């Protein structure tokens, strides 16, 4: 850890498992004003600041939950194996509006499982994505796949809530977190046996994720300040992701060709939402994303390291 070593001793009590946990102050990374991300994070920050629940109690309850399903292991496809798909339950998008407001998360999860998905992602943000904890619970109960809570994690309580609502993995967006919180939330997730998908958008965020010892990194091709999609972002960053880190490409994956290109570059998984939700035949659309051979990222990483 090149940047975190200096403050490991100062990691919040919640990550060290102290006798009395204290909820750390929320230190979100600065976000440009008047963007999608700034509005979403402001709302989540306000809710977190008003949360008066006891963190010790939340952790104890989370630790008492039934065991988690193997989210990261389900995606850790070796070179030569087949691309894994994380299929998303998503009712609406802040940029595109309603996608399928009346979807049945249980039925959709069953379709995803039948179509060959490795994992399911469920939006639980209510205000901006019309999701809920009930959507996650329904999807997970209907299938045997590991489930990611897709939301904006800004506090230790959010990590606990993911476990309490039945998730097997939690999303940590590097752009929304300080280094200290990123490290602390990763540590708490591991304590609670949650996988953590650490989401990045550029080289600097990827470096921060790797410094925090992220084992599962998602490269989001959607710009969270404008919500526009850059189809080449994942390909530009793949060379900087070490072979031992599970690599996931997110957003902008439209069809078989996109999936094949990302798999060939060395991504072990793709996270796909809108193109599946809007497809007339969701099982067929999902099947088209599977079966692609995963390329060897080791050589790509070595070449990228030499260039840097």
* 155 is a catalytic site residue: no
251 is catalytic: yes
Among 90, 121, 180, 275, the one annotated catalytic: 90
From the list 180, 205, 250, 274, the catalytic residue is 250
203 tagged catalytic: no
Does the annotation count 250 as an active-site position?
yes
Q: Has 20 been annotated as catalytic?
A: no
Q: Which residue among 88, 113, 205, 274 is the active-site one?
A: 88
Q: Which of 74, 150, 180, 205 is catalytic?
A: 150
**One of 93, 187, 251, 275 is an active-site residue; which one?**
251
Catalytic-labelled residue, pool 180, 199, 205, 274: 199
CA torsion angle for 246, 249, 254, 258 (degrees, to 10)? -70
* Active site positions, annotated: 88, 90, 150, 199, 220, 250-251
């Amino acid at each position: 850890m090149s940047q975190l070593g200096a403050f490991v001793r100062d990691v919040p009590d919640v990550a060290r498992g102290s006798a009395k946990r204290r909820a750390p102050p929320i230190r979100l990374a600065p976000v440009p004003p008047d963007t999608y991300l700034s509005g979403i994070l402001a709302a989540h920050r306000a809710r977190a600041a008003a949360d008066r629940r006891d963190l010790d109690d939340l952790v104890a309850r989370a630790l008492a939950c039934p065991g988690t399903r193997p989210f990261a292991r389900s995606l850790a496809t070796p070179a030569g194996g087949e691309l894994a798909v994380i299929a998303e339950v998503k009712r609406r998008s802040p940029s595109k509006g309603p996608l399928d407001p009346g979807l049945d998360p249980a039925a959709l999860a069953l379709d995803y499982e039948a179509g060959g998905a490795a994992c399911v992602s469920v939006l639980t943000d209510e205000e901006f994505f019309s999701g809920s904890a009930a959507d996650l619970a329904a999807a997970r109960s209907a299938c045997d796949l590991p489930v990611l809570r897709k939301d904006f994690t800004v506090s230790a309580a959010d990590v606990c809530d993911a476990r309490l609502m039945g998730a097997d993995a939690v999303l940590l967006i590097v752009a929304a977190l300080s280094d200290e919180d990123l490290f602390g939330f990763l540590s708490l997730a591991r304590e609670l046996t949650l996988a953590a998908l650490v989401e990045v958008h550029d080289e600097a965020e990827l470096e921060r994720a790797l410094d925090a010892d992220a084992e599962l990194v998602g490269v989001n091709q959607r710009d969270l300040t404008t919500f526009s999609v850059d189809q080449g972002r994942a390909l530009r960053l793949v060379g900087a992701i070490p072979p031992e880190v599970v690599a996931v490409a997110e957003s902008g994956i439209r069809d078989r060709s996109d999936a094949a290109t990302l798999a060939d570059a060395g991504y072990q998984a793709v996270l796909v939402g809108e193109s599946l939700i809007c497809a007339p035949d969701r099982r067929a659309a999902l099947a088209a994303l599977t079966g692609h051979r995963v390329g060897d990222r080791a050589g790509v990483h070595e070449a990228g390291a030499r260039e840097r």
